[in-house]
Amino acid sequence: MSPRKIRVLIIDDSAVVRKMASDALNADPEIEVVGTAVDPYAARDKITELKPDVITLDIEMPRMDGLTFLEILMQRRPMPVIVMSSLSQRGSEHALEALRLGAFDVLAKPSGSFSFGDLGTQLIAKIKAAAGTTLRSMPPPARVVHHATPPGRPAIPPVRLRSLDPRALILLGASTGGTEALREVIIRLPPNLPGIAIVQHIPALFSRAFADRLRSLSALDVREAVDGDRLAPGVALVAPGNFHLLLQWRHDHYCARVVDGPQIWHQRPAVDMLFKSASDCGSAPYTVAGVLTGMGKDGAEGLLHLREKGAITFAQDEASSVVYGMPRAAFENGAAQRQIALPQVADFIVRQFASPTGTRQPFVHTS
């Protein structure tokens, strides 16, 4: 008896996108497109009738927008949703809002009628990962109030740090579920910590909106990395979508390198590229590095390089991960010294730099 196929419902007002997505998904023997819908009202009845395992959802649709539908769906009948969003500033903001509302992941929608490209391969991978996910019940998220002028940054007070080597560094990598996981970590960090470098697997053009959102919510200066940026205390650099982020040590500071290059683990930016670059420039004994939620194995090899050279390393635990793929790989290969629940990650990071040793030793290793 053959295994049951993953049942997918496609919701999109574009007939072209519905056709391209259906053809791409039906070509995979493990997936069956059980139906399509042109808007949320049509989708509502088909969800009840067809009982899909995963939904793909357009954001901009007539009669009811995708965000409103997603919020209702996640409150009344939670299920894995892959959001397809346009490559625009507005589309990027909508994609991030969809993730906040509980979407499993987002994909950049093709910009033209025949520009599906490798989106089909990405969509298949995300649908398979989503189908194996058990959604945790979550309270309805608070509505985000959008201001014409960003509000002042949260008043998170600095913490008293011990004397740190100027090479002290924080490295974070994430994929599926990572935008919200990183938000939960970053908003809890004080502004006087060492520089932070972040790789989040995210579509090109979405990364700037992601960095801007983190900056508006946190006490840190979060921004999308530009080649040559100086990584200073209180600064968090986010790898641009479709580019690798590397670090170099120049005299007395870290310098960001934003480079093209082949995908690693089917990803660009890749967490392994960031971690290995930090290891190569001698930062490991002064580094706290961790891998958060995500599918695949990216980050595990680079994290192991850092641990072997003296870094404090961790991985998000299974219970708090949306997808326990990258953290599992980092723990099972010995790269992560410990697993930490997401709500405790920020406090763990702060403790590594706030230890009252009064020395310039790299770290005091604590649990």
Active site residues: 175, 201, 298
Q: How far apart are CA 220 and CA 211, in angstroms?
A: 11
For residues 242 and 225, the answer to whether their CB atoms sit within 8 Å is no
For residues 260 and 244, the answer to whether their CB atoms sit within 8 Å is yes
Q: How far apart are CA 344 and CA 12, in angstroms?
A: 39
Q: How far apart are CA 283 and CA 171, in angstroms?
A: 11
Q: Looking at the chain, how many residues does it have?
A: 367
Torsion angle of C-alpha atoms 133, 135, 136, 141, degrees rounded to 10? 130
The strand ranges marked E within the chain are 6-11, 31-37, 54-58, 81-85, 105-108, 169-174, 196-200, 221-224, 230-231, 235-238, 244-250, 253-259, 287-291, 312-316, 338-340
Q: Which residues contact 36 (CB under 8 A, 6 or more apart)?
A: 9, 10, 11, 12, 18, 22
For residues 14 and 115, the answer to whether their CB atoms sit within 8 Å is no
Core vs surface per residue 227-259: b (16+ CB within 10 A) or e: eebebebbbbbbbbbbbbbbbebeeeebbbbbe
